[in-house]
Amino acid sequence: MSELHEYFPALLRGARVTLLLAVLSVLLSVCLGLAGALAKQSGSRMLVSTATAYTTLIRGVPEFVMMLLVFYGGQILINHIAAALGFHAPDVNAFVTAVLTIGFIFGAYYTETFRGAMLGVPRGQMEAAQAYGFSPWLAFRRILFPQMMRLALPAAVNNWLVLLKTTAIASLIGLHDVMFVADQAGRTTQAPMTFYLAACALYLALTTGSTACLSRARTRYSKGVREGRLQ
């Protein structure tokens, strides 16, 4: 336990990196998910095909492989561009790579989540909004989005929990998150199980805390809606 006490501040710093990575990644993925869902619902053949190709590609490639492709492939691409332009190539930032990769991956899952939620909103409500002269943006903001979020929240929360745990793969590219710190501390002290269990406890604390916070959001979007109960 003395080893754990010594490395505990480093584990907490790693947990902060993990949480920041997860928050930025989910913000990116939600934006991509909304764009993808709207593209699939747009009726434009080009937009529908692009969004479908995006979700099909991402859901068919493992996160581990995608992370390595973006990190090492991005560095190779930057090296080639720098050599062609005659300047020194900068190193790819591990944190930025992790945010972009995880956000891009989960954007595909949020696309399907939001698309399913949009289909759950009665079409007549959007038609009524158009009849009352609402602009597309106003109809989306005042009618579609609030109801869509209520329907999407259960799946969106699940996506968030999976995303939070997926951040562990960022340790593979050298990001000093909680998993990287736990692994290094375990190798140094030759007590890997102690630090892996500590990492598990920190992930559990993050997921439990975020679930409690997100349950408030679900309560807010469900306000005024009577849920059916089985007798």
100 has a pLDDT exceeding 70: yes
The candidate with the shortest Cα–Cα distance to 13, out of 207, 178, 159, is 178
Confirm whether 227 is domain-assigned: no
Per-residue confidence band for 87, with pLDDT thresholds at 50, 70 and 90? confident
Confidence of residue 220 (pLDDT cuts 50, 70, 90): low
pLDDT higher at 2 or 32: 32
The residue among 5 and 171 whose pLDDT is bigger is: 171
Residue type, 231: Q
pLDDT confidence tier of residue 118, bands split at 50, 70 and 90:
confident
Region 87-96: what's the mean pLDDT? 87
Give me the pLDDT at residue 225, please.
58
Tell me, yes or no, whether 228 lies in a domain: no
**pLDDT score at 180:** 93
CA distance readout (Å), 1 to 4, 6, 188, 211: 5, 9, 14, 29
In a domain, 104, yes or no: yes
Judged on CB neighbours under 10 Å (0-12, 13-18, 19+), 103 is buried
Distance CA 23, CA 95 (A): 12
229 in a structural domain? no
pLDDT band at 191 (very low <50, low <70, confident <90, very high): confident
The amino acid occupying position 230 is L
* Domain presence at residue 106: yes
The confidence band for 230, taking pLDDT boundaries of 50, 70 and 90, is very low
Residue 228: pLDDT band (50, 70, 90) is: very low
119 within some domain: yes
Q: Is the pLDDT of residue 88 over 90?
A: no
230 inside domain: no
For 92, which DSSP code? P
CA distance 226 to 223: 8
Tell me if 21 sits within 8 A of 167, measured CB to CB: yes
Q: Is the dihedral of CA 22, 24, 25, 31 positive or negative?
A: positive
Instruction: Give the integer Cα–Cα distance in Å for 109 and 199.
Output: 26
CB 74 within 8 A of CB 92: yes
119-168 pLDDT, tens digit per residue, is 887 777 777 777 777 777 787 777 777 788 888 888 888 999 999 999 99
In a domain, 206, yes or no: yes
User: Could you read off the pLDDT of 44-67 as tens digits, one per residue?
Assistant: 899 999 999 999 988 888 888 999
Q: Is the pLDDT of residue 36 over 50?
A: yes
Segments forming the whole domain that contains residue 89: 2-221
Domain count, the chain: 1
| CATH number for position 97 | 1.10.3720.10
pLDDT interval class at 107 (50, 70, 90): very high
Helix (H, G, I), strand (E, B) or coil at 227: coil
More confident call, 216 vs 116: 116
Contact 207, 159 (CB under 8 A): no
| In the predicted structure, residue 231 carries a pLDDT above the cut 50 | no
